[in-house]
Amino acid sequence: MTTDTDPRNFIKALSLPVVRPFISWEKVIKSEQFLSSIQYYDDHFDRHRDTGPFERLLALLDDTKYRDLLANYLRVRHSVQVSRENGKVKVSVLKSASVVANTHKEMTFAKFSSDSKPAYKDRVSKIRNSEKNNFKKNYVDALDHPARLPGSFGHGRRK
């Protein structure tokens, strides 16, 4: 039985191809309906150990920057493994229950996202800075370098 207040209807409406181009994902993630949907899926997972709703939600967020945020939340909150197999997002339950997950059972997505925003931005800036530092300058081989002394052995160009 589904009603208008059912969180599943909200996620189904977001997944419609006609609606997706007009969505502001930042507003959706911060909305009360999305947070209640996450809470509903958390409770569903705790009762049934069903990862299907999480897979559909991650697939919905696949082209956005919020997919990794939700995947990290699921790893911390439920101690599941999130991976990609054959182009699809796969959420699998780890065989051994983690003690860390038991300590984070009361954590909500809103609290997790507000706590992890600065860390996420720092990580992204570190990645971007490391990409800039790893940029190789134009490499010139020592044999082809213009500062060779004329008349020395091998003063000509490579053959």
pLDDT digits (tens, 9 = 90+) for 8-55: 889 999 999 999 989 999 999 999 999 999 999 999 999 999 999 999
Query: Smallest Cα–Cα separation from 89: which of 57, 112, 66, 64?
Result: 57
Q: What is the pTM of this model?
A: 0.67
Q: By C-alpha distance, which of 11, 108, 5, 22 is closest to 56? A: 11
pLDDT for 60-116, tens place per residue? 998 888 999 999 999 989 889 999 888 888 999 887 655 445 567 778 888 888 876
In angstroms, rounded to a whole number, what is the distance separating the alpha carbons of residues 145 and 136?
A: 17
